[in-house]
Structure 1
Amino acid sequence: MNNIINQFSSIEQLTDRYLNQNKSQNTANDSVSFEDILKQKQQTGIKFSKHATARLGQRNINLSADQSARLEKGVSEAENKGVNESLVLVDDLAFIVNVPNRTVVTAMDQTENKSNVFTNIDGAVIM
C-alpha cells in the first residue's frame, strides 16, 4: 500500500489510473467504421454531394486515381483564381463544383450533355 500512496498525490490520480484503465483499453480495441474512414478521406480532398454520387452511379462513371487527382488539382486551381462555381473538365467527364466547399455538385460524361451548355458557373478549368 505504501507504494501506491507514494506514487499518487491524490485519490483522483489513483482512480484515473486504475479505474479508467479499462475504458482506454476498450476504446483502443474498437473498430473504425467504413463511414468514418470515408468521411476522413473526403475531408482532405473533394466531397461529392448526394446528387453527384447518384449521378455517378446512374451514369456508370468511375473515376480512376489519376482522374480523381486531376479533378482535385482543377478545383485547387479554380480556388486560387477566386472561382465560386466551376466547371472542371477531366478527359470526357464534366464536373460542376462548388469551389469554396470543395464539393462536386453534379457529374456527367460527354454523352449526357448534348447541348454543351453549362449554366450557373463563374469559371471553367480544363484538365
Structure 2
Amino acid sequence: MSTIDSLITRLQQIQPVGSPVTTPASRPGHARPQDGKFGELLEQTVRDSQPVKFSAHAQNRLQHRQISLTEPQVARLEKGVSNAADKGAESSLVLLDNLAFIVSVRNRTVVTALEQAQTSSHVFTQIDSAVIA
C-alpha cells in the first residue's frame, strides 16, 4: 500500500469531534409543526393570554346593577371564555355563580351581564355555546 493510499484510508476513518450536526426538526423540543398548525397554535396562545375585556354596555350594566367581580371570578370567566374558544365557539353564554354573561369569544369581550333573577324569563339568541364557569 502506498503512502497516499494509507493516508486516504486513515482520513476516511476519522470521526468528527464535537456535537453531531442536527437539523432543527431533529432536536428535542423543536419539532416542526405539521399541516400549518403553528399559526393556529400561535393564534390560540396569543388569544388565551389576552384578558377578557368588558364593552361599554357591559360596564354600564355591571355598574347600574351594582355587580362587582372578584379576581377569582374574573379568572373563572377568562377560563370559561378560553374553553369556549378551544371548542370553536364565537358567541357564548357564560354562567358564573349567580351571573350570566354574553361574550364575544373571538374578541374576548363581555357584551352584556345579567344577574340570575333577570335570566329566569330571558331568551338568549345568537349564541352558539353555553359555558358554566
TM-score bracket, normalised by the shorter chain, equals 0.5 to 0.7
Question: What corresponds to 1:90 in structure 2?
Answer: 96
Letter in 2 for 1:47: K
For residue 111 of structure 1, give the secondary structure of its aligned residue in structure 2: helix
Q: CA deviation at 1:117?
A: 2.1
Structure 2: gaps (5+ residues)? 1-48
Q: CA deviation at 1:111?
A: 1.6
1:16-35 aligned within 5 A: none
If the length of structure 1 is used for normalisation, what is the TM-score? 0.64
Question: C-alpha deviations, 1:65-104, integer Å up to 9, x for none?
Answer: 1110000000000000000000001101000000000000
By percentage of residues, which structure has more helix? 1
Bigger Cα displacement from structure 2, 51-60 vs 116-125: 116-125
Question: What corresponds to 1:112 in structure 2?
Answer: 118
Q: CA deviation at 1:119?
A: 1.1
Letter in 2 for 1:71: L
Question: C-alpha deviations, 1:8-29, integer Å up to 9, x for none?
Answer: xxxxxxxxxxxxxxxxxxxxxx
RMSD: 1.3
Question: What corresponds to 1:80 in structure 2?
Answer: 86
Structure 1: gaps (5+ residues)? 1-42
Number of residues paired by the alignment? 85
CA distance in structure 1 between the partners assigned to 2:86 and 2:103 by the alignment: 14
Q: CA deviation at 1:54?
A: 0.3
1:2-41 aligned within 5 A: none
For residue 71 of structure 1, give the secondary structure of its aligned residue in structure 2: helix
CA distance in structure 2 between the partners assigned to 1:44 and 1:52 by the alignment: 18
For residue 89 of structure 1, give the secondary structure of its aligned residue in structure 2: strand
Residue of structure 1 aligned with 2:52, choices 46, 57, 80:
46
Higher Rg of the two aligned structures: 2
